[in-house]
Amino acid sequence: MRVTDSMMVNRFLSDVMQNRKALTELQHRMSSGRQIRFPSDNPVGTVNALRLRSKIAQTERFSANIKEAQDWLTTTEYAVSTALSYVMRVKELAVGGVNGAIGEAGRQAMAQEAAVIRDGLIQTGNTTHGDRYVFGGHSTLTKPFEASGAVGTHAGDINREVGDGVLVKINVSGIDTIQPAILAVDSLIQALNDADIAALSGTVMESIESVIDTLTATLSELGGRMVQLSLTQERQQLVKLSSEQLLSETENADFAETVTLFKAQEYAYQAALSAGARIIQPSLLDYLR
């Protein structure tokens, strides 16, 4: 095969260009720290990167939703347990009222204490989280309890999305929890004022017992949701962590590998240059007299 001067020069130039292109590519990979800059660098990797980035944003959002749900539930749990302790005191009053020895004056004092407890219950029923009433159902901006008792229906579930399509209900209705306690206190006050011993030990005591059951059941249900939420939170954190790791593997350059490749490419480049410098220079003219 004939090999001409420009063949040598062209081949040399094209080899050097290839080397330079590879060097620039690796250099960019090192300085940007990314191996996918454009979808064409790796279409499948790009799809994964897009999916993982959105996944991370989603888990962050769901984590924030869970945190918010936990706060809301904690507020509710505190309010329900306060209500429960009020009702326990109410039960003590009812038991005391049955005792015939305490007399009229004693029952009046008990009735007064019960009235104070009733105020406390109404206040508890108006517990807010931020500026929202937690017991009012969807009517979060309207006071669910007035002095006379419950206002409105307290209807509506408040949900938080804690995973893709997974909803957790975070509210309990005031009508179902606080209102029975207020009614029980009302009946106690009525019975104390009427000195209705039979009612005190009968219907009043029964309603108090039933309220205690309801509140206890609500508390354990709230506790259950808290446990569910913290498990979900852990899972979201794990998903986020593994997604971040996967994203980094997909999108980020492996530094050890990139540096090694760069070094090898650099040698190849220098070798091409020095070989070119030797082969291009001499010609027959150098050896003619």
Partner 1 sequence: MTSQFFGIEIARRAMDAQRRAMEVAGHNIANANTRGYSRQRVSMTTTPPLVLHGAGERETIQVGTGVRIEDIRRIRNAFLDFQARKAQAMLGQWQTREQILSEVEALINEPSEAGLRSVLDQFWESLQELANNPESRAVRTTVIKQAGSLAVAFRHHRQVLTELVSSINLSIEAKIGEINATARQLAAVNEQIQRAVVAGQSPNDLMDERDRLVEQLAKSAGAVSMPSKNHTVHVLVGGGVLVSGNNFQQIELLSDGTLKWQGLALSVKPEAGQIAGYLQMRDHVIPSLIGDIDTLAASVISYMNATHRSGFDRDGNPGEDFFVGSGAWDIAVSPVLAGNPDRIAASGTGDVGDGSVALRMARFRQEPIVSGASVDDFFRGFIAGIGVLSQEAKRLSENQMLLVEQIEYQRESISGVSLDEEVAELLKYQHAFNAAARVINSFDEMLEVIIERMGRVGR
Q: What is the binding site for partner 1 (CB under 8 A)?
A: 1-7, 10-11, 14, 36, 38-44, 46-47, 49-51, 53-54, 57-58, 61, 65, 68, 131-132, 136-141, 156, 158-161, 164-165, 167, 251, 283-285, 288
Q: How far is the CB of 100 from partner 1 (least distance, A)?
A: 49
Quick one: 39 or 224, whose CB is closer to partner 1?
A: 39
Quick one: 63 or 82, whose CB is closer to partner 1?
A: 63
Q: How far is the CB of 200 from partner 1 (least distance, A)?
A: 39
Quick one: 100 or 282, whose CB is closer to partner 1?
A: 282
Q: How far is the CB of 53 from partner 1 (least distance, A)?
A: 7
Quick one: 50 or 277, whose CB is closer to partner 1?
A: 50
Q: How far is the CB of 138 from partner 1 (least distance, A)?
A: 3
Q: How far is the CB of 154 from partner 1 (least distance, A)?
A: 11
Quick one: 39 or 223, whose CB is closer to partner 1?
A: 39
The 3-state secondary structure of the chain reads: CCCCHHHHHHHHHHHHHHHHHHHHHHHHHHHHCECCCCHHHCHHHHHHHHHHHHHHHHHHHHHHHHHHHHHHHHHHHHHHHHHHHHHHHHHHHHHHHHCHHHHHHHHHHHHHHHHHHHHHHHHHHCCEECCEECCCCCCCCCCCEECCEECCCCCCCCEEEEECCEEEECCCCHHHHHHHHHHHHHHHHHHHHHCCHHHHHHHHHHHHHHHHHHHHHHHHHHHHHHHHHHHHHHHHHHHHHHHHHHHHHHHECCHHHHHHHHHHHHHHHHHHHHHHHHHHCCCHHHHCC
